[in-house]
C-alpha cells in the first residue's frame, strides 16, 4: 500500500515539476489563487449590508474616491464591494456548471465509446445535435422557462455545454478500449461496469481535468452573458453589474468605473482558466509537447 | 435510427469509387461514380438535417410545456383578460385537447410556417421574424465577410512565419478575444467611439440601424453603414479569432507536406509556394469550420444586437426573453436553430464537393 502512495506522491511531484515549467500556466494559476482567495475571504472581511440598495451610503454614480476606491453605482453602492461579492456568484456558477457539464459529457462519452452499435449511435446523434445548436440561445430559453435562481443558471449552462466534452471523451475511450489489457480484462470476465470504471475512467481522467479547466472559462463567459441578457441568478454577479451599468447609462455618460472593473475581472479569470487548461493539456498530453 | 442511414451511403459510395478507379481508370466512369456518391452523400446529410430539425421541433414543444402555471396566462402576460376570454384562448391554443393532439397540431402549424401569435405585438410571430430578418442578415453577412477575410489572411501569415512576431501577436490576441465577453467588448466600443472619451467626441451612433431623420436615396446607404460600423466590429472581433486559429493550424499541417518541399525545390518564390500550393489546400478544412462555427455567429449576433439595439432577430429574441413573450421566444428559437442546422449541412456537403480526399476516404 505504501508502495502505491509513494508512487502517487512521486507522480504528483513530477506533474508539479512539469506544470511549473509552463510559464503562462503559472501566471494563470496565480490569478486563480488570488480570485478564489478573494471570493472566500470576502464574507469575513466585508459587510454585505453595503449591497442593499436601501442602505447604500455613497453618492449616486460617484467617480472613484478614497471612501469608494472604484466609485459607486446608480444607487450609491460601492463598486469594489459588489465586485468582491460578485466574484463569489460568478466563480460558483462557473465551477458548478462546468462540473455538471463534465459529468454529463464524461458519462455520455464513455458510454458511447464503450457500447458500440445503436446505443452509441443514438447518443452521438444527440451529442451532435447539442454541438450544433447555439448554446447561448438554448441556455437563455431554458433560464427563461425555468425562472431565475442559481440552480437554474447552473442547469442551463451545464445542460447546453457538454457536447464537445462528450466527443473528446468518446474518442479517448475508443483509443483506450483498443488496448490489449482491456481485452485481457474482458476475457478474464470483467463486466461493462468494471471496464468502464476501472480501465477507461482512470485513463480519460487527465483529459477530463484539463477540459474542465477550459469549460469553467467558457461557463463564466456564458454566465456573464446570460446575466447581461437578463437571466441572472438574483444576486449581483459581474455580468449583472454590467447589465446595471448598461441600463443606467453608465456607458454613454462615461462612468468608466462602473463598466471597466467587472469586465476586467471576467477577462482576467477567464484568461487564467484558459492558460491553466492549456498548460494542463501540455503536461498531461505528451503529444502536444514541443508544439506551440 | 438515423445514423445508419447516414453512414450507409458513404460506405458504398466510397467502395464504388474505389472499384471504378481500380478496374477501369477511365475518367468518365470515375466521374459518374463520384457524382452519384455525392448525391447519395448529400441526401444522407439532408436526412440527418431533417432529423435534427425534427428534434428541434419536438424539443421546442416539450420545452415550452415546462413553463410553470397556465400557458394561456403566461403567453398573454400583462394583457388583462376576462375568464371567458381565457377559456376561449385556451381553446384557440388547443390547451383543452389531449397532449398528442396538441403536439400534432404544433408540428403541422410549424411546417406551414405558422409560429403562433404574439400577444405583446398582437401580430403573427412569423411576420415579426420576417421583418427582423433583413437587418440581421445585413449585420451577420457583413461581419462574416470581414471576419473570414481577415481571419484567413492573418492566420495564413501567422502560420507561414511560424513563431514570428505576428504569430505570437495573433495567438495572444485570439486568446484574449476568446476571454472577452462579446457584450463587454460592445460596451467598451460604445463608450469610446459612440459616447466619446474626454476631449474625443463620439463619432458613431449609439443605437439602432437608422435615425428618425434618416436621409433618402443613396445617402441612406451611408447612413445605415455608419450605424453598422460598431456592431460589425464587435461581431468580427468575436468570430475572427476562431478563423485565424483554424487557418493557422491548418496551414501549419500543410507546411510539413512533401508537395510543399517539392514546390520549394522547383525554385518557386516563397510567396508563390504559399499562395498557389499551401493555402488552397489549407483552405479546405477551414471552409467547413467557418460554417460549423455559425452557431457562434448567431450567439454573437444576439448579444451584439442587444448592446446596439440593432433591430434584428437577435434583438427580437432578447426582447422576448425580457418580456417574457413566449410565443415570440419559441418562434425565434426555432428559426435560429433551424438556420444553424441548415448552414451546417451546407458546410458538410460543400466540403464533400471541394475536397476529393474526403470523398474517397
Judge: A137–B4 Cβ closer than 8 Å, yes or no.
no
Judge: B341–A132 Cβ closer than 8 Å, yes or no.
yes
pLDDT digits (tens, 9 = 90+) for B115-171: 888 877 878 888 889 888 999 999 999 998 998 898 888 888 888 888 788 888 888
CB A62 within 8 A of CB A249: no
Helix (H) or strand (E) run with residue B137 in it:
helix B125-160
B252 contacts: CB under 8 Å, gap ≥ 6: B159, B162
Where do the structural domains in chain A lie, given as residue ranges?
19-45+78-289
Preferred mutation among B321, B326, B329 to probe A, highest tally of A CBs within 10 A = B321
Of B74-78, B235-239, B303-307, the least confident: B74-78
pLDDT digits (tens, 9 = 90+) for A260-287: 999 999 999 999 998 898 888 888 766 5
Judge: A267–B176 Cβ closer than 8 Å, yes or no.
yes
**A-contacting residues of B 180-239, CB under 8 Å?**
180-184, 187-188, 190-191, 194-197, 206
Q: Which residues of A touch B56 (CB under 8 A)?
A: 133
DSSP assignment of chain A: -HHHHHHHHHHHHHHHHHHHT-HHHHHHHHHHHHHHHHHHHHHHHS-GGGG-GGG--S-TTPPP-SSSTT-B-TTS-BHHHHHHHHHHHHHHHHHHHHHHHHHHHHHHHHHHHHS-SHHHHHHHHHHHHHHHS-HHHHHHHHHHHH-SSHHHHHHHHHHHS-HHHHHHHHHHHHHHHTSHHHHHHHHTT--HHHIIIIIIHHHHHHHHHHHHHHHHHHHHHHHHHHHHTT---SS--HHHHHHHHHHTTTTTTT-HHHHHHHHHHHHHHHHHHHHHHHHHHHHH-GGGTT--
Burial of A225 (0-12, 13-18, 19+ CB in 10 A): buried
Judge: B175–A274 Cβ closer than 8 Å, yes or no.
yes
CB B166 within 8 A of CB B177: no
Distance between CA atoms of residues B322 and B324, nearest Å: 5
Regions in chain A scoring below 50 on pLDDT = 290-292
Burial of B41 (0-12, 13-18, 19+ CB in 10 A): buried
Q: What is the 3-state secondary structure (H, E, C) of A118-143?
A: HHHHHHHHHHHHHHHCCHHHHHHHHH
Residues paired with A78 in a beta bridge: A72
Burial of B270 (0-12, 13-18, 19+ CB in 10 A): exposed
For residue B305, what pLDDT is reported? 92
Judge: A145–B206 Cβ closer than 8 Å, yes or no.
no
For residue A66, what pLDDT is reported? 75
Interface residue B50 vs chain A (CB under 8 A): no
Minimum distance, in Å, between the CA of residue B122 and any CA atom of chain A? 21
Angle of helix A256-284 versus helix B165-179 axis, rounded to 10: 120
Distance between CA atoms of residues A28 and B302, nearest Å: 30
Q: Which residues of A touch B57 (CB under 8 A)?
A: none
Judge: B66–A146 Cβ closer than 8 Å, yes or no.
yes
In terms of pLDDT, which residue wins out, B349 or A288?
B349
For residue B11, what pLDDT is reported? 33
Burial of B37 (0-12, 13-18, 19+ CB in 10 A): buried
Average pLDDT, chain B: 79
Distance between CA atoms of residues A32 and A34, nearest Å: 5
For residue B263, what pLDDT is reported? 87
Minimum distance, in Å, between the CA of residue A98 and any CA atom of chain B? 16
How many CB atoms within 10 Å of residue A154? 23
CB B142 within 8 A of CB B148: no
Superfamily the domain A19-45+78-289 falls into = MetI-like (1.10.3720.10)
Interface residue B58 vs chain A (CB under 8 A): no
Q: Which residues of A touch B346 (CB under 8 A)?
A: none
Helix (H) or strand (E) run with residue B73 in it:
helix B71-75
pLDDT digits (tens, 9 = 90+) for B37-75: 778 888 888 888 999 999 999 888 888 887 776 777 777
Q: How far is CA A233 from CA A152, A237, A252, B357, in A?
A: 8, 8, 26, 49
Judge: A229–B182 Cβ closer than 8 Å, yes or no.
no
SS3 B97: coil
φ, ψ (nearest 5 deg) of residue A185: -60, -40
Q: Is B210 left (phi over 0), alpha (psi -120 to 50) or beta?
A: beta
- Residue matched to cell numbers 489546400: B281
SS3 B212: coil
Of B87-96, B109-118, B119-128, B275-284, the least confident: B87-96
Distance between CA atoms of residues B49 and B45, nearest Å: 6
**Which chain B residue's Cα is nearest to A256?**
B191
- Judged against a pLDDT cut of 60, whether residue B32 lies above it is answered with no
Give the up-direction half-sphere exposure of residue B183: CA atoms within 13 A in the CB hemisphere: 33
Task: State ipTM.
Answer: 0.86
Q: Which of B56, B188, B303 sits opposite A229 (nearest CB)?
A: B303
For residue A286, what pLDDT is reported? 60
Judge: A267–B188 Cβ closer than 8 Å, yes or no.
no
Preferred mutation among A251, A272, A273, A276 to probe B, highest tally of B CBs within 10 A = A251
Of the candidates A95, A52, A38, A61, the residue with the CA atom closest to the CA atom of residue A220: A95
B184 contacts: CB under 8 Å, gap ≥ 6: A224, A242, A259, A262, A263, A266, A267
**Which chain B residue's Cα is nearest to A242?**
B184
Its pTM stands at: 0.83
φ, ψ (nearest 5 deg) of residue A100: -60, -45
pLDDT digits (tens, 9 = 90+) for B175-231: 788 788 889 999 998 888 887 776 777 777 777 777 777 777 777 888 888 888 899
Distance between CA atoms of residues A186 and A54, nearest Å: 66
Amino acid at each position: 500500500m505504501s508502495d502505491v502512495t509513494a508512487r502517487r506522491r512521486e507522480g504528483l511531484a513530477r506533474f508539479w515539476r512539469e506544470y511549473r515549467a509552463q510559464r503562462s500556466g503559472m501566471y494563470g494559476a496565480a490569478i486563480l489563487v488570488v480570485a478564489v482567495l478573494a471570493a472566500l475571504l470576502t464574507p469575513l472581511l466585508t459587510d454585505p449590508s453595503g449591497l442593499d440598495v436601501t442602505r447604500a451610503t455613497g453618492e449616486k454614480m460617484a467617480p472613484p474616491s478614497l471612501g469608494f476606491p472604484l466609485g459607486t453605482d446608480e444607487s450609491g453602492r460601492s463598486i469594489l464591494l459588489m465586485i468582491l461579492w460578485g466574484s463569489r456568484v460568478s466563480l460558483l456558477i462557473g465551477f458548478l456548471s462546468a462540473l455538471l457539464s463534465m459529468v454529463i459529457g464524461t458519462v455520455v462519452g464513455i458510454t458511447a465509446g464503450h457500447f458500440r452499435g445503436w446505443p452509441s449511435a443514438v447518443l452521438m446523434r444527440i451529442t451532435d445535435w447539442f454541438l450544433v445548436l447555439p448554446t447561448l440561445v438554448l441556455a437563455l430559453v431554458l433560464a427563461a422557462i425555468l425562472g431565475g435562481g442559481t440552480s437554474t443558471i447552473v442547469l442551463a449552462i451545464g445542460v447546453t455545454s457538454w457536447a464537445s466534452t462528450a466527443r473528446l471523451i468518446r474518442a479517448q475511450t475508443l483509443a483506450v478500449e483498443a488496448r490489449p489489457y482491456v481485452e485481457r480484462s474482458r476475457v478474464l470476465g470483467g463486466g461493462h461496469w468494471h471496464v468502464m470504471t476501472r480501465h477507461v475512467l482512470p485513463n480519460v481522467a487527465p483529459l477530463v481535468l484539463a477540459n474542465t479547466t477550459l469549460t469553467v472559462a467558457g461557463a463564466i463567459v456564458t454566465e456573464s452573458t446570460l446575466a447581461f441578457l437578463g437571466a441572472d441568478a438574483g444576486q449581483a454577479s459581474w455580468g449583472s453589474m454590467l447589465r446595471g451599468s448598461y441600463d443606467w447609462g453608465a456607458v454613454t455618460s462615461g462612468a468608466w468605473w462602473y463598466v471597466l472593473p467587472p469586465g476586467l475581472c471576467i477577462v482576467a479569470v477567464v484568461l487564467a482558466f484558459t492558460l491553466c487548461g492549456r498548460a494542463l493539456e501540455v503536461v498531461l498530453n505528451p503529444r502536444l509537447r514541443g508544439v506551440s | 435510427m438515423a445514423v445508419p442511414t447516414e453512414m450507409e451511403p458513404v460506405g458504398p459510395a466510397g467502395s464504388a469509387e474505389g472499384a471504378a478507379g481500380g478496374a477501369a481508370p477511365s475518367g468518365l466512369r470515375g466521374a459518374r461514380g463520384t457524382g452519384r456518391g455525392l448525391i447519395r452523400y448529400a441526401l444522407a446529410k439532408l436526412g440527418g438535417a431533417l432529423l435534427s430539425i425534427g428534434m428541434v421541433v419536438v424539443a421546442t414543444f416539450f420545452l415550452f410545456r415546462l413553463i410553470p402555471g397556465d400557458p394561456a396566462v403566461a403567453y398573454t402576460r400583462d394583457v388583462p383578460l376576462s375568464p371567458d376570454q381565457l377559456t376561449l384562448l385556451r381553446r384557440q391554443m388547443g390547451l383543452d385537447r389531449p397532449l398528442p393532439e396538441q403536439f400534432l397540431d404544433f408540428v403541422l402549424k410549424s411546417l406551414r410556417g405558422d409560429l403562433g401569435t404574439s400577444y405583446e405585438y398582437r401580430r403573427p410571430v412569423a411576420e415579426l421574424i420576417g421583418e427582423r430578418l433583413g437587418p440581421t442578415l445585413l449585420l451577420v453577412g457583413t461581419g462574416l465577410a470581414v471576419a473570414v477575410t481577415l481571419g484567413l489572411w492573418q492566420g495564413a501569415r501567422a502560420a507561414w512565419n511560424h513563431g514570428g512576431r505576428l504569430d505570437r501577436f495573433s495567438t495572444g490576441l485570439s486568446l484574449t478575444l476568446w476571454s472577452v465577453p462579446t457584450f463587454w467588448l460592445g460596451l467598451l466600443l460604445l463608450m469610446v467611439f459612440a459616447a466619446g472619451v474626454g476631449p474625443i467626441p463620439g463619432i458613431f451612433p449609439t443605437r439602432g440601424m437608422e435615425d428618425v431623420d434618416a436621409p433618402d436615396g443613396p445617402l441612406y446607404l451611408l447612413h445605415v453603414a455608419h450605424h453598422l460600423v460598431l456592431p460589425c466590429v464587435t461581431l468580427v472581433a468575436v468570430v475572427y479569432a476562431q478563423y485565424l486559429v483554424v487557418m493557422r493550424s491548418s496551414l501549419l499541417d500543410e507546411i510539413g507536406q512533401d508537395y510543399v518541399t517539392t514546390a520549394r525545390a522547383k525554385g518557386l518564390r516563397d510567396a508563390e509556394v504559399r499562395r498557389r500550393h499551401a493555402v488552397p489546400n489549407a483552405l479546405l478544412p477551414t471552409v467547413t469550420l467557418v460554417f460549423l462555427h455559425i452557431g457562434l455567429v448567431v450567439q454573437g449576433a444576439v448579444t451584439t444586437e442587444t448592446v446596439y439595439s440593432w433591430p434584428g432577430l437577435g434583438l427580437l429574441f432578447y426582447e422576448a426573453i425580457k418580456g417574457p413573450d413566449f410565443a415570440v421566444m419559441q418562434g425565434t428559437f426555432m428559426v435560429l436553430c433551424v438556420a444553424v442546422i441548415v448552414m451546417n449541412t451546407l458546410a458538410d456537403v460543400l466540403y464533400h464537393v471541394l475536397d476529393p480526399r474526403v470523398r474517397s476516404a
